[in-house]
Amino acid sequence: MTGLSDEILQKLLNAKDSDDDDFKKILDEMYQTYKIKNKKYGDSFNITHQLFGVSNGVARILEKTLRCVQIVLFDPDDDETLEDNLQDIANYCVMLIKNIRKFKNLRKPKNEELELRYSQYINEGD
């Protein structure tokens, strides 16, 4: 069995470079979206993180994920695209990682009532 021809190998390497460029382009778009939305909405993600802890960021990610499910299943006619929501999820993930590193002492909600309500909600079906 012979190895890959130089031509095939070069095509594979070029495809990888193209994929890397595409990945970088998406990250650049995400950063621009982050800056625009942070300016538009203020520092709401960081503020709510400080008030409610990590669960706030996870809740936002879950909301966007459920929105993606709705878009995929029902293809609603509205302004939000699947790609927009996926980009929001990715940005929320990065923002949450940033906050976890920055606010290490805020991994749990400050308000114990939030934990209690969550536990009650989870156990409702039992």
Residue 1, pLDDT score = 45
Give a yes or no: residue 33 inside a domain: no
Give a yes or no: residue 27 inside a domain: no
Give a yes or no: residue 42 inside a domain: yes
Instruction: Convert the pLDDT of each residue in 101-111 to its tens digit.
Output: 988 755 555 56
- Going by the DSSP 8-state scheme, the letter that residue 89 receives in this structure is H
Residue 95, domain extent: 38-124
Give a yes or no: residue 82 inside a domain: yes
Residue 110, pLDDT score = 53
Structural domain count of the chain: 1
Residue 114 has pLDDT above 60, yes or no: yes
Do 106 and 49 touch, CB atoms closer than 8 A? yes
Instruction: Convert the pLDDT of each residue in 5-62 to its tens digit.
Output: 777 777 777 776 778 889 999 999 999 999 999 999 988 898 888 888 888 999 999 9
Do 85 and 67 touch, CB atoms closer than 8 A? yes
